[in-house]
Chain A
Amino acid sequence: MSDQKKSPLNVTRRTALKTLAAGAGGVAAAGLLPGLGGYSQLHSAEPIKIGFQVHRTGIGAAYGRWYDRTTQACVEKINAAGGINGRMIEIVAEDDGTDPKRGAEVVEKFASQHNCDVSFGTLFSHVVYGSAPRAGELKMPYFVVSEGHHVASGALNRYTLQPGITDVKSQVEAMAPFIAENLGKKVTMIFPDFAFGHDHRDYFSAAFEAKGGTILEKIAIPPTETSFTKYFPKIPRDTEVIYHVMVGPAVLTFVKEMGEFFGPSKPEIFGFIDSLEAVDIASPGLEFLEGTYFWEGNPRYVQEEQSEFDKAYREAVGVDENGASVSDAKDVSTYAHMFGCWETLHIIKRGMEAADYKGPDDRTKLIEAVEAMSDMPHSMEHPQGAKRFNGKTHQTFGHQYISKVTDGKLVLAHTTSIEDTLYEDEVDYTQQSF
């Protein structure tokens, strides 16, 4: 921290040139030439610095808070077990404000000011898009925990990977068979009118129609909307299933108003938990959700057949059996997503160990080591479930969970196989040079 407070703008040309001549090692120690600092930190006692791009403010703040807690808990666990290659992990957290411009600046800070070995943690897709080009240019491995399709679509670069959380395309496509076989064949979709919602619209409708279903209406809601009642009359009367997904500060209003619109006679309702992530499902006005279904990346409530891994993970992060903080029952977690931080950190650890990672010179070896990964068993490293990583597309695939609201809680109703989530490769990043 102290080196950051000393403004380099005060450095004169003469002193800077003298300092340069005095040797990069000494300069790096003074914190004035962070770019060279990494090469002086090869000593095994030095910590491995992981830059954590966290949404502390902005639209992603609720996610950021829980991503932070999960990350801290995971690092504590890994360090207690000896760290990575005998080196402790040090998290360098920087708020990106859930803003792509600031996100790119934060990645630059990780690379050239904090001398981080890798960066990780980004959730919101636009921040990933804004930051990934800089990560690639700075040759900084960038492990995102975003669930966007951006990585697997080939839009980014070889330095950007998503090994700890599945992407929206695989999630959405895996829902289509369950809905078609169990809930109904005529679906009306309600989604936010921006890229995340369009991914749902496009991938789900294609997968659902392939299963013999029909999309009756696609209702896009502008992201600036705060009241939703005018959209519900657009729902066709013969709708058998409502498919909804919404994000942002107005999600609770959206779900409540949907309940008010339908009253006691509602069609089957299937939603993505994004619509209620970090929101207590027992909130007043949400009673109508009883009997409806939700996709969950990881079941929020403790299930009857809870795995030992989920139990230990939940305890480590400080989440109770209802998915809320153990210290505040009203502080509901983002349980469907935050496991991605835990799993990604373990993959970084395994990759560094496989690559015998010593410092920034070994970053490409680290990426190659991760690219070489494939099946990851359900374990303490992967408490959400088994994974299958595709090294070519830099994207992981895994089980998806469908829960039914029963007695005010989300009860697991169906678990997809990993095979249900697979799709054709759209890119081969291993063909790109470093």
Chain B
Amino acid sequence: MKDQLLTGVFHLLIIALMAGLYFILPEYHSGVLARVMVLAVYAMGYNILFGYTGLLSLGHALFFATGMYGLGLAMQHLDVTPSIGILCGLGAAVVVSAVIGFLALRTTGVAFMIVTLMFAQAGYLIILWLGEYTRGDEGFVIQQSQRVLNGVDLSQPDNRYFAALILFAISLLLIGWVVRSGFGKTLVAIRENEERARMLGYNVHRHKWLAVIISGVLAGAAGAAYALLFGYVGATFATVQYSIFPLLYVLLGGAGTTIGPLIGTVFMYYLIDLSSQITSAYLLIAGVALILLTLFAPQGLAGELRKRVFRWLP
């Protein structure tokens, strides 16, 4: 009970901190944080599957792109409002993650990684194949005039920031609740010892399938939000590198921690941003930093904090 209270207060403090940062940070960095919060939601979704359930997916870009194109195509071709577009993005993410989860969960371990990777690659190629509607690799722009949600112009920096914050806050509180619930604890039990969980009578397959759906919907929500807040829909977001990003965010920040995805996303963003100002070989710097972190902080930044200082950290 004390832990639950502490978790709730901690998450509310994080949300309040993110809200306050908008008024403190310079324009560029508040803009960065808006993008980071959206990507952190993507990583949070990934964390549910990887960090809490122990399933390593290499195809999450498919879910991100599903949300993005679900919203984008509906707004572009059906001329729907952003709110309907969001529902389309989320609906598409539910369907796609349910189907992919159903099929991919027939495999385990390395095979699961390969199957999710293949599904994502198939999704990418479908986007290119349907180039007449998706504009393939080029993608398309959602015009500023279209990005007005219930009278709120989401292309304005303050509106964009707080829209991203609302999405981030909902996701963080939802995940905080899920991982503390019986369902979340069962996921952890599956991660730790799947056979034991099955022996104890839990429907492991159903739990894993629901984890894929929750994970996919959060990724899809992030994709839809990215399209709406930044005005662009493109096939690049369905490529394999966008499946690797959430894995890195989670590994760096701390798998199986609620705040890890945010920390990892911030860390990764500024690592690239700052190192690219020093050298064009910035990916080398990023790679070395990642190796060092993996060697000396294998549980990620938040994971190490939980291990060494704040044992209550959710």
Name A's B-contacting residues (CB within 8 A).
1, 4-5, 7-9, 11-13, 16-17, 32-35, 56-57, 94-95, 99-101, 104-105, 108-109, 111-113, 125-126, 129-130, 132-134, 136-137, 148, 150, 155-157, 193-196, 198, 222-224
Q: Are B280 and A57 in contact (CB under 8 A)?
A: yes
Chain B positions 296 through 311: 1 when the CB is less than 8 Å from some CB of chain A, otherwise 0: 0000000000000000
Task: Please measure, in the bound complex, the distance between the C-alpha atom of A136 and the C-alpha atom of B156, giving whole angstroms.
Answer: 11
Is B69 part of the binding interface, using a Cβ–Cβ cutoff of 8 Å?
no
In the assembled complex, B91 has its CB within 8 A of some CB on chain A: no
Identify the closest chain A residue to B135 (Cβ). Answer: A195
**How many angstroms between the C-alpha atoms of A13 and B125 in the bound complex?**
47
Interface residues of B (CB under 8 A from A): 20, 23-29, 31-32, 35, 125, 128-129, 131-132, 135-144, 155-156, 230-232, 234-237, 270, 273-274, 276-277, 280, 282-283
Majority DSSP secondary structure for residues of A touching B: helix
Set B24, B131, B143, B237: member contacting A194, Cβ < 8 A: B131
Q: Is the CB of B25 within 8 A of A194?
A: no
Across the interface, which residues of A come within 8 angstroms of B28, CB to CB? 34-35, 108-109, 111-113
Complex CA–CA separation, A19 to B111 (angstroms): 55
Report the bound CA distance from A108 to B35 in whole Å: 11
Q: Pick the contact of A130: B24, B25, B31, B234 (CB < 8 A).
A: B234
Interface centre among A94, A129, A148, A155 (most CB of B within 10 A): A129
Smallest CB separation, B296 vs chain A (Å): 21
4 closest Cβ pairs, A-B complex: A133-B231, A35-B27, A195-B138, A112-B28
Contact call B24/A222, Cβ cutoff below 8 A? no
How far is B282's CA from A91's CA once the two chains are assembled, in angstroms? 20
Are B29 and A133 interface neighbours, CB within 8 A? Answer: no
* A195 CB contact (under 8 Å) in B26, B35, B137: B137
Contact assessment for A223 and B137 in the assembled complex, using a CB-CB cutoff below 8 Å: yes
Asked if A194 and B144 make an inter-chain contact with CB atoms under 8 angstroms apart, the answer reads no
Partner of A101, one of B125, B231, B236: B236
Is B136 within 8 A of A198, CB to CB?
A: yes
Q: Is the CB of A194 within 8 A of B29?
A: no
Contact between B232 and A104 (Cβ–Cβ < 8 Å)? yes
Does A194 lie within 8 Å of B27, measured CB to CB? Answer: no
Which A residues are in CB contact (< 8 Å) with B273? 105, 109
Measured CA separation A223–B236 after assembly (Å): 12
Q: Output the least CB separation between B253 and chain A (Å).
A: 15
